[in-house]
Amino acid sequence: MPSNLARAHSSFGKCAGTQSRMTPMPAACNASTRNLKSSGETKREVVVDAVNSTGGIFVPALLKALGVHQITEIYCEPNGHFPHNPEPLPENLVALSDAVKQNQADLGIAVDPDVDRLCFVCEDGQMFGEEYTLVAVADFVLKNTSSQTYAAQQKLGNTVSNLSSTRALRDVTTAANGKYIASAVGEVNVVNAMKANQAIIGGEGNGGIIYPESHYGRDALVGIALFLTHLAKSNQSISELRKSYPAYFISKNKIDLTPEINIDQLLAKVKAKYQAQPINEVDGLKIEFDKEWVHLRRSNTEAIIRIYSESQTAAAAQALAEKIIGDIKEFIK
């Protein structure tokens, strides 16, 4: 593992007041700080929304250890009283977006109560996109992984995300001459696929970063260290970094059904209609259309089918979902 990756992944331990049996401390922590300082990272100003969770303790401490120049904390009192819906989604991060703009900060950081999901806000208050947290971190890891380190283990460039995550991860993986693997939805399924394919980075589109050099679990602190190192090395603003990645948009829909409808038969009919397209049945039914895809998953508790679709514009993603919903309605008649 190259020094900058070692420095980044090691910084989340004692730097943030925690102890990890898998993390070399504290020398690598200090090396990470020196690395980011030399890259100009100390000039950055960051706003943190930790939704009054334990992230309010560890995220600011990590940023200080990394040498971040100015840290503005909102909702960082770890009292468990969530000031807004704790899901790190755009509609719940209005205060963070406003604070970034008001403080003329370089970026904002939001974590969930478990500190295992991570998303960023750009300097203009726009969302970086939780789907793109993993894309950016994976891009950094892929570009900075030594072939000499991993060639013997046959895992150079392997990445994993679940079937409902953006194809942008596949794009950056392919660009790095790596192999992308899609898993069933769920952290445990991603981890199993990562182990089976010896992936060097993986996660989920909800902002969950899984970095095996640290441990096999979603970890926002690891993600922050890797992301900030990537940003510092890139000499870009966070919005410029975001624009460097392929633009995709995901539409999330569902169709309500009656209990007597056989969902398996419905999905089989959809599959038969689009049998000429690439199909993945690892978890539900995913159909690919060039740069678009649609993923259908039945609920285990309700008579519904969840329909996620992605395309290069929001309108196209929604149109694809509506097309499949229309197909399903025709099959029900």
User: Does residue 83 lie in a domain region?
Assistant: yes
- With H, G, I as helix, E, B as strand and everything else as coil, classify residue 251: strand
Strand residues in 58-111 grouped as ranges (E):
70-74, 107-111
Q: CA end-to-end span of the chain, whole Å? A: 57
Distance (Å, rounded) from C-alpha 325 to C-alpha 272? 15
Average confidence (pLDDT) over 104-118: 97
Give bridge partners of residue 311 from the DSSP assignment.
Answer: 249
The verdict on residue 212 lying in a domain is no
Segment 232-246 shows an average pLDDT of 96
For residues 99 and 233, state if they share a domain. yes
Q: Are residues 80 and 193 in the same domain?
A: no
User: 24-41 pLDDT, tens per residue?
Assistant: 323 333 444 455 554 545
**Considering the domain boundaries, does residue 217 fall inside one?**
no
pLDDT average, residue stretch 6-29: 38
Q: Are residues 118 and 24 in the same domain?
A: yes
Domain boundary among 204, 234, 257: 204
The tally of domains found in the chain comes to 3
What's the pLDDT score for residue 1?
43
| Contacts for 272 with CB less than 8 Å, ≥ 6 apart | none
Count of residues making up the chain? 333
Domain that holds residue 273: 249-332
pLDDT at 154: 46
The residue from 151, 174, 204 where one domain ends is 204
The answer, yes or no, to whether residue 60 has pLDDT greater than 90, is: yes
Same domain as 122, residue 28: yes
Are 112 and 198 in contact, with CB atoms under 8 Å apart? no
Tens of pLDDT along 275-321? Answer: 999 999 999 999 999 999 999 999 989 999 999 999 999 999 999 99
Domain co-membership, 178 together with 303:
no
Q: Is residue 308 part of a domain?
A: yes
CATH number of the domain at 280, please: 3.30.310.50
* Among 14-28, 84-98, 293-307, the least confident range: 14-28
**CATH, residue 70:** 3.40.120.10
| Shared-domain flag, residues 179 and 232 | no
List the beta bridge partners of residue 203. Answer: 161, 209
Same-domain check for residues 77 and 26? yes
pLDDT for residue 69: 87
Same domain assignment for residues 200 and 239: no
Are 189 and 79 part of one and the same domain?
A: no
The answer to whether residues 140 and 279 belong to one domain is no
How many whole angstroms from its chain centre is CA 241?
15
276 & 152 share domain: no
Stated pTM of the model: 0.87
- Of the candidates 148, 174, 204, which is a domain's last residue? 204
Rg (CA), the chain: 20
Same domain? For 44 and 183 the reply is: no
Residue 10 lies in a domain: yes
Neighbours of 17 (CB within 10 A): 11
Q: Is residue 209 part of a domain?
A: no
**Between the CA atoms of 136, 142, 145 and 150, what dihedral angle is there, to the nearest 10 degrees?**
140
Residue 144 forms part of a structural domain:
yes
DSSP letter string over 271-326?
Answer: HHHTTTS-EE-SSSEEEEETTEEEEEEE-SSSSEEEEEEEESSHHHHHHHHHHHHH
Directed axis angle between helix 27-38 and helix 220-234, to 10°? 30
Q: What's the mean pLDDT in 74-98?
A: 96
Tell me what the pLDDT averaged over the chain comes to. Answer: 88
